[in-house]
Amino acid sequence: MDTQRLLAVARGDQPADLVLRNLRLVDVFSGTSRPGEIAVCGTRIAGIGPDYKGKEEVDLQGRWVCPGLIDAHVHIESSLVRPREYGRAAALRGVTTVIANPHEIANVFGVEGVRYMARDGKRGPCHILLTVPSSVPATPLATSGAALGLDDLARLREDPAVVGLGEVMDYSGVIAGKEQLFREIGLFRDRVVDGHCPGLTGRGLAAYIAAGISSDHECTTAQEARSKLQCGMRLFLREGSAARNLRDLLPVLTPAVERRLSFCTDDLSPGDLLHIGSIDHMVRLAVKAGVPPMLAIRMATLNPAEHFRLEDRGRIAPGCRCDLVVVDNPLDFRPFQVYQAGRLVAQGGELTEKQDDTREVEEPERLRRSVAVDWRQVDLTVPAKGERIRVIGLVPDQLVTRHLILPVSIENGRAVADPQRDLLKLAVVERHRASGRVGLGFVKGFGLRQGALAGTVAHDHHNLVAVGADDRSMLTAARAVAEANGGLAVAVGEQVLCLLPLPIAGLMSDLGIEEVARRAAELDAAAGNLGTPLRDPFMTLSFLALEVIPDLKLTDRGLVDVQRMQLVPLFPAD
Amino acid sequence: MDTQRLLAVARGDQPADLVLRNLRLVDVFSGTSRPGEIAVCGTRIAGIGPDYKGKEEVDLQGRWVCPGLIDAHVHIESSLVRPREYGRAAALRGVTTVIANPHEIANVFGVEGVRYMARDGKRGPCHILLTVPSSVPATPLATSGAALGLDDLARLREDPAVVGLGEVMDYSGVIAGKEQLFREIGLFRDRVVDGHCPGLTGRGLAAYIAAGISSDHECTTAQEARSKLQCGMRLFLREGSAARNLRDLLPVLTPAVERRLSFCTDDLSPGDLLHIGSIDHMVRLAVKAGVPPMLAIRMATLNPAEHFRLEDRGRIAPGCRCDLVVVDNPLDFRPFQVYQAGRLVAQGGELTEKQDDTREVEEPERLRRSVAVDWRQVDLTVPAKGERIRVIGLVPDQLVTRHLILPVSIENGRAVADPQRDLLKLAVVERHRASGRVGLGFVKGFGLRQGALAGTVAHDHHNLVAVGADDRSMLTAARAVAEANGGLAVAVGEQVLCLLPLPIAGLMSDLGIEEVARRAAELDAAAGNLGTPLRDPFMTLSFLALEVIPDLKLTDRGLVDVQRMQLVPLFPAD
């Protein structure tokens, strides 16, 4: 950036590269709007009108101009596409910066995976910044493909795309005073340290915050959110494909507390990102729920920028990046144009630049060989050892589950799925080291009447997870995704009904997001045909293995009681 | 800080060192208050009640507990005492952190002076943090005792007490693109860069901000403040002894913009600090003017903490410093108790700890020899070269002056002071290098009917400044302060009526603040007896030499037209 030229344009001594005219400027500082003009020099805003001259001038015909939206926390891998593809879809939505935590690929490929995400993220029309994944692996209660040690964190910290330490998920470890975690946090003491502590309140919360954690995005109730706000946490209100918390959390919003709140999506399915939206969708939802548009926009711009100390964005001001969203009106907030770093990247719902395949970053070949399962050792049968069994109870639209204890269905001395009772079998097959280890359990609320689903996306360890009405279907689906070097599949009996290969780390497709969304929809339809009422059954499936979100989860090592952070037997002692 | 012990206390596994009970906690996050308890471990807050056990427990009988106040910008030297003494007086007022810009001593002794302030500041019950003085010297239009080069700034940047770059005063230089200033700002790009741009608006303001300046504390009108807020500046509303801007600026306050506003005092006389107050006074003023107490307190706590990225203070939360002010009620905001880093430092208007002379930091001997004037070369006479003359017009309670052109009073071919017309002579005598250089001018609004005032405090270069009704009185006062190695004096004819020595850099006394305030009051009374109606004539005098605040000022090099940033002759061309 040539500061001399920027200032010459600001002073009016040189013409701007671009002047946006006849617009209504959203002033996030005062939460008001006013007519204005914006003079752009290269990637930056040089001044705010009137009367700047530009080499190019655009008449916005009275439209509203907001700062580009910021997603405070997202796992790009959840959208099943590479960062460049994620960025294309996000930019269409007016999201010009995302703070991505490449936690999923880190659990498969460690530093190499994180570096890949940073490199590939530079290719798209959305600025992808990273937090360094903490807690990789999340806990010792599952088998990951890789670990990030302190040295790895220290090296990644120096990457220019890195803004802080990502959600410190092992909150029990932090509270208990695990020195390793203190050292991780200490490395990022002068940056930002994000948190993750679903349901945590009281003294545990005090200890977690006292350790140096500054944010949380896992609140599900207004009461929980208030407790965390009172203790000084900044909150990211989340509206993702698997966790829709915005409506429940909006009651905490007051003019005084608003600055402590940002928006995030956390995990978005490719279809939701393309067809429903991202942070733009949250702005619309908030406004629809009665939030004044100026406050909704601040939660999507200035607030996350302040949290991450990004003084160069989330606002329209001299010297800042020219990241802008132009909308017809702020009530329905449909992006008419999107500018990123001074370039018009989207207009009328279309990207202005073709995907530039000449700039293709090919992922290292190793990233395409991430699935190793020794099928000879894999056995899904569950000998019946009692009359009652632990069951993971789904909670609609939440990542948290219930820890149920239900009567077991037995056939030939084995505990089996019983679709009529909506009791399905769940298996997590270790897929990084061909250990043959399988965790087995049961789940209620998934609703399959027959067949099975399987996938290599299974937070956070990303083993191979399968759910089904019978073992044969489960094995068919599981083998299909393994043979594709990762993916998602639906099967009945010996037949694979539908398969989406995810060859990059078993997490991401190498196709465009539109194609991935189409095929993901086919998968969902196939799963729906088998009876599941879930909106996004594969995302739900992928979170059933996440042993840091209460109450009961399954890993390759077995059932985890998350509240107590320990493995528990499938058949409870009476 | 032992994090393990902090967390053990937070969890309730170990007793707190101190528990404050039966209090009303001011929650700056939500701008509300609620009953609570505060558990303290060492210097930090471990948790917020209920039911923590403490080795010591204090019943606050329902009083309100706020975060310790933060002064966003202050020049300690203006209070004429050493940092430790300033800290004692500030702590009595509930101010537990000040962001001090040691700009005055830097202009006299450079790095050595700044280091002294940091060292001495550690001794008192208020946490003194520093911004590194920028623009030393402020401009080439005055002679300073020292300069701070880029290397000096880079070294000072690493001092743990340093939070950023202090007010970049040479705003014309920034706007014009002076590379030296870009480099200064660039050194602090990932910290905070404070600004100083009185009256600046429009394109100049855009250029100044685009260069990377984030704050301003020089606004005098609501309109100016709004312009700066709209361009993304954070503002420090100022209420100091020589510039009382709070009332004029409060109209900009809205719930939405409040987060961008902090309080600062900039310059306080020792008497004002002791008897009227500091940021506590601003809270009272704001509340009296109708600002909700919770918002006033935020502007004095959370907002400056956020600006300076001090995540460990300005709030009451686990892990934060235990910096607290206890008040009977937030409407009159009189500190009942003050805690700093977990220690009770003040109660009922008295410090709890005696000044600990065993920890005395003696200033380097060189700092006590700062005045060098060759009196043989000093001549205060002004040959009359025209009928009209430029006159500095005082504006009550403001640092800005008017640039007046008035008829001259002539005696024996010389332009002279004419007390009957309230036209006094002003002299700035270079005092760092015994050059004999003297700048001469006239001032209206000072009101002396006879005699003279002189002082070695003269922002920012701190030459020897004198104002008087006749040359003889001016020379008497000026010689008296020079012989004392710095100070302030009032004289009539050959007689020194009153003298306050300021032996440390010619700026600060080595006495306690109470004694300094008493003697400063005597000086003011002596000056008042000579006819001046000014509330704080020596502080007013000291700013008449500050060539970066419009419109007309006087340095040892002559009259400065600040708008044009150039020397202008005393007698304007017709």
Q: What is the pLDDT of residues A494-525, one digit of tens each?
A: 999 999 999 999 999 999 999 999 999 999 99
pLDDT band at residue A409, thresholds of 50, 70 and 90?
A: very high
d(CA A357, CA A364): 17
From chain A residues 285-304, the ones with a CB under 8 A of any chain B CB are: 294-295
Determine the residue of chain B that is closest to A177 in CA distance.
B4
Q: What is the pLDDT of residue B228?
A: 98
Intra-chain end-to-end CA distance of chain A, in Å? 69
Question: What is the length of chain A?
Answer: 574
Q: Are A131 and A192 in contact (CB under 8 A)?
A: yes
Q: What is the pLDDT of residue A536?
A: 86
d(CA B13, CA B3): 13
Q: Establish if A65 touches chain B: CB-CB under 8 angstroms.
A: no
Query: What average pLDDT is seen over chain A?
Result: 95
Query: DSSP readout, A353-373?
Result: S---GGG--PPPGGGG-----
Nearest to A465 by CA among A476, A454, A475: A454
Q: Establish if A223 touches chain B: CB-CB under 8 angstroms.
A: no
Flag if B255 and A255 touch (Cβ within 8 Å).
Answer: yes
pLDDT band at residue A397, thresholds of 50, 70 and 90?
A: confident
Flag if A231 and B259 touch (Cβ within 8 Å).
Answer: no
Q: Are A468 and A453 in contact (CB under 8 A)?
A: yes
Q: What is the pLDDT of residue A355?
A: 63
Query: Which residues, 6+ apart, have CB-to-CB distance to A179 below 8 Å?
Result: none
d(CA A27, CA A297): 10
Q: Establish if B42 touches chain A: CB-CB under 8 angstroms.
A: no
Q: What pLDDT digit, counting tens, does each position of A349-393 carry? A: 999 987 655 456 677 888 999 999 999 999 999 999 999 999 999
The beta-carbon neighbor of B211 closest among A3, A29, A30 is A3
Q: In 3-state terms, what secondary structure has residue A248?
A: helix
Flag if B32 and A256 touch (Cβ within 8 Å).
Answer: yes
Q: What is the mean pLDDT of residues A261-280?
A: 96
d(CA B493, CA B495): 6
Q: Establish if A13 touches chain B: CB-CB under 8 angstroms.
A: no
Q: What percent of chain A lies above the pLDDT cut of 90?
A: 90
Q: What pLDDT digit, counting tens, does each position of A457-489 carry? A: 999 899 999 999 999 999 999 999 999 999 999
Where chain B has pLDDT below 50, the residues are: 358
Which residues in chain A have their CB less than 8 angstroms from residue B30's CB? 226, 229-230, 254, 256-257
Q: What is the pLDDT of residue A574?
A: 66
Which residues in chain A have their CB less than 8 angstroms from residue B320's CB? 232
3-state helix vs strand vs coil in chain A, percent to 5: 30, 30, 40
d(CA B327, CA B23): 10
Question: What distance in Å separates residue B48's CA from the closest CA in chain A?
Answer: 7
Q: Are B500 and B519 in contact (CB under 8 A)?
A: yes
d(CA B480, CA B498): 10
* Residue B244 CB burial class (10 angstroms; 0-12, 13-18, ≥19): middle
The beta-carbon neighbor of B6 closest among A11, A30, A210 is A210
Instruction: ipTM value, please give it.
Output: 0.91
Which residues in chain A have their CB less than 8 angstroms from residue B211's CB? 3, 7, 319
Which residues in chain B have their CB less than 8 angstroms from residue A316's CB? 232
Read off the tokens for B528. Answer: 């008042």
Q: Establish if B12 touches chain A: CB-CB under 8 angstroms.
A: yes
Which residues in chain B have their CB less than 8 angstroms from residue A256's CB? 30-32, 255, 294-295, 298
Q: What is the pLDDT of residue A358?
A: 44
Flag if B255 and A259 touch (Cβ within 8 Å).
Answer: no
pLDDT band at residue A1, thresholds of 50, 70 and 90?
A: low
Measure Cα distances from B170 to B105, B164, B547 in Å.
18, 17, 10
Q: What pLDDT digit, counting tens, does each position of A227-238 carry? A: 999 999 999 999
Dihedral angle over CA of A376, A378, A384, A385, nearest 10? 100
The beta-carbon neighbor of A257 closest among B10, B29, B315 is B29
Question: What is the length of chain B?
Answer: 574
Flag if A11 and B203 touch (Cβ within 8 Å).
Answer: yes
Q: Establish if A203 touches chain B: CB-CB under 8 angstroms.
A: yes
The beta-carbon neighbor of A206 closest among B10, B34, B254 is B10
Q: Establish if A307 touches chain B: CB-CB under 8 angstroms.
A: no
Flag if A46 and B206 touch (Cβ within 8 Å).
Answer: yes
Q: Establish if A342 touches chain B: CB-CB under 8 angstroms.
A: no
Q: What is the pLDDT of residue B358?
A: 44
From chain A residues 464-503, the ones with a CB under 8 A of any chain B CB are: none
Which residues in chain A have their CB less than 8 angstroms from residue B295's CB? 256
Q: Are B468 and B492 in contact (CB under 8 A)?
A: no
A409 versus A49: which is more confidently predicted?
A: A409
d(CA A314, CA B383): 59
Q: Are A464 and A429 in contact (CB under 8 A)?
A: yes
Q: What pLDDT digit, counting tens, does each position of A446-461 carry? A: 999 999 999 999 998 9
Cα maximum dimension of chain B: 87
